[in-house]
Structure 1
Amino acid sequence: MRLPLAFAPAFGLAAGLLAALPAAAEPYAMDRSHAAVIFSVDHVGFSVIHGRFNDFSADIDYDPENLAGSSVSFTLQAGSIDTGWDARDQHIKSGDMLDVENHPEITFVSKSVEVISDTQAKVTGEVTIKGVTNEETFDVTLNKTGPSPLDPDVTVVGFTIEGELDRTAYGVDYFAPAVAATMPVRIDLEASPAK
């Protein structure tokens, strides 16, 4: 179809603008075998207890050309908490703390990404624990992007996400502040474009 000559400049301008727009973020699939959600808690100054969640999932939309347009959400199964001591884990799962029977999931849903550098960003979003939602900001490090060592046709991207949560802000205040309220949190993950 030929455009009338009068419309050609406008069409060319629109095409140029569209070409300049960043591509939309695309779904990436987390490699669950190379991902971890870990945390630590100071125990009355005597020691630091380390724990993890063994059951979690992530929805990742990632655009390497426009990091600010990327997004992520995590869902942790609260009952999968593992601190290496079953009696403690059962207490954490109880109504005194996480109350997993009534609040089986812990979630994070990103709202914005602030790009700091080619490898650093801050992601802000809503964390929900025990039915309480607060806005939190985490530091994100892009560790590496490259072909998979198992399949060079597959691109792998690796991230480390770090921050701190005040558990008392979510109603998990048992034995605080003797057992620290502020908990460092770290997520390590690898992901590839979803098939």
Structure 2
Amino acid sequence: MKKLIALGFTALLGFSGALHAAEYKIDTAGAHAFIQFKIKHLGYSWLYGRFNDFEGRFNYDPAKPEASTVDVTIKTSSVDSNHAERDKHLRGKDFLEVEKFPIATFKSISFTPLTDGKAELKGTLTLHGVTQPVTIAVSEIGGGKDPWGGVRQGFHGTTEIALKDFGITKNLGPASQTVELILDIEGIAQSMM
């Protein structure tokens, strides 16, 4: 009997792990994912903003995290800094030029697990018509079944980019040359791998 219980428990653990090996759709419909940014204002304070309209997918298997992939598309016109005039300026020729460059994308190249749920995600960011390599520091938030019968997985990531690397040359002063991106992503499993 003990052997039967042990075998059943082992099988349950194996099945439970398989639930997390999946392709996930980023949950923007439920507003459980955010692409935010912050930049220093004159070196005196932080200005925060976000992109409201984006979509993406990622593959993740906790047994083989190094095989993870991520693909995200952002509508640049959805930039939102909670100030209409500033957002109009951000959409214009000094910054995002959204009519000329309506889409920004991120495509992963590699995912390197570290320790304590941390990882390094490398990929290419295309913004303002320029593609550059970026490295994102990632933390796994958690994953598992949700109350509606689905499976979810969540991550937090941060990276810093220099505006001039993406052809944005508007001089905002020496303290405002880089932008920190803050990424909080929750995905809903679409298909188990």
Query: What TM bracket, shorter-length normalisation?
Result: 0.7 to 0.9
Normalising by structure 1, we get a TM-score of: 0.82
1:136-167 C-alpha deviation (Å, 9 max, x unpaired): 1001110112221x23x422211101111111
1:92-111 aligned at under 5 Å gives the runs: 92-111=90-109
- For residues 65-144 of structure 1, what are the structure 2 equivalents within 5 Å? 65-117=63-115, 119-144=117-142
Give runs of aligned pairs for residues 164-175 of structure 1, distance below 5 A.
Answer: 164-175=160-171
Q: Deviations over 1:34-67 (max 9, x none)?
A: 1111000101112211000000011212222111
- State whether residues 124 and 131 of structure 2, in contact with CA within 8 Å, keep that contact through their aligned partners in structure 1: yes
Q: CA deviation at 1:171?
A: 1.0
What does residue range 13-92 of structure 1 map to in structure 2 within 5 Å? 26-32=22-28, 33-92=31-90
Quote how far apart the aligned CAs of 1:169 are: 0.6
CA shift at 1:178, angstroms? 4.2
Distance in 1 (CA, whole Å) between partners of 2:172 and 2:23 is 40
Deviating 4+ runs (over 4 angstroms): none
Greater relative contact order (Cα 8 A, min sep 6): structure 1 or 2? 2
Cα distance between partner residues in 1 of 2:173 and 2:108: 29
Q: Distance in 1 between matches of 2:37 and 2:94?
A: 19
SS at match of 2:168: coil
Is the partner of 1:194 in helix, strand or coil?
strand
Q: 2:42–2:172: 8 Å Cα contact kept in structure 1?
A: no
For 2:38, what is the secondary structure of its paired residue?
strand
Letter in 2 for 1:110: S
1:156 aligned residue: 152
Amino acid at match of 1:78: T
Point out the structure with max Rg over C-alpha.
1
Show the counterpart of 1:18. none
CA RMSD of aligned residues (A): 1.6
> SS of 2:176's equivalent?
coil
Output the CA distance in 2 between the equivalents of 1:178 and 1:136: 22
Structure 1 equivalent of residue 7 of structure 2: none
Contact 2:57 2:187 in 1 (8 A): no
Residue 118 of structure 2 aligns to which amino acid in structure 1? Answer: Q
Question: In 2, Cα distance between the equivalents of 1:100 and 1:143?
Answer: 32
CA distance in 2, matches of 1:118, 1:64: 13
2:179 aligned to which of 176, 179, 183: 183
Whole-Å separation in 2 of the counterparts to 1:179 and 1:86: 23
The equivalent residue for 1:17 is none
Of stretches 178-187 and 131-140 in structure 1, the one that deviates more from structure 2 is: 178-187
Measured against aligned partners, the alpha-carbon deviations of 1:70-103 in whole angstroms (never above 9, x if no partner) come to: 1001111000000011111111111111111010
Which blocks of at least 5 consecutive residues in structure 2 are unaligned? 1-17
Q: How far, CA to CA, are the matches of 2:151 and 2:99 in structure 1?
A: 39
Report how far residue 179 of structure 1 moved: 5.7
